[in-house]
Amino acid sequence: MSRWIHTTDRGGGIDVEVLEESALAMAQSTIQKAINDSGISRSEIARKMKCNRSFISRMLSGNHNLTIKTMAKCLAACGFEVRFQPVRVEWNWVETTAPAEPENVLPANAGGTMLASDMSAGIVVPALA
């Protein structure tokens, strides 16, 4: 994950709310991919899950607190199964300042002209104004 999970304004630690929302988004994305890959309609999935089609839409909307059981049931209806893998939260993001630009680099000039000799190894160099 990224540095924004670390909540320095609350004394450090993990922002569990961000992790929860990320996990929910990943679960919904996994279900949507299973639906797309299986080619089964939402109506057919609802029939197999013995629920209303509107429940499938709510489940994928982001407003539904998806349970592991519901996720497993929906994936099974699509011919898939749930697999989990724990991954450690990474805290190695470091704030850095942008590197100083070399003195001979000029900003890109929209509409400027460029000679073929200005190209070096496929890298476009801005034309001099």
pTM: 0.60
Q: What is the pLDDT along the chain (129 residues), one digit of tens a residue?
A: 444 444 444 445 677 888 888 889 999 999 999 999 999 999 999 999 999 999 999 998 877 888 999 999 999 999 999 999 888 877 545 555 666 656 665 555 545 554 545 544 455 445 554
The C-alpha atoms of residue 16 and residue 9 are separated, in whole angstroms, by: 14
Q: How many domains does the chain have?
A: 1
Residue 85 lies in a domain: no
Quick one: CA dihedral 14, 17, 18, 20, positive or negative?
positive
CATH code for position 12: 1.10.260.40
Residue 38 lies in a domain: yes
Range of the domain at 9: 3-77
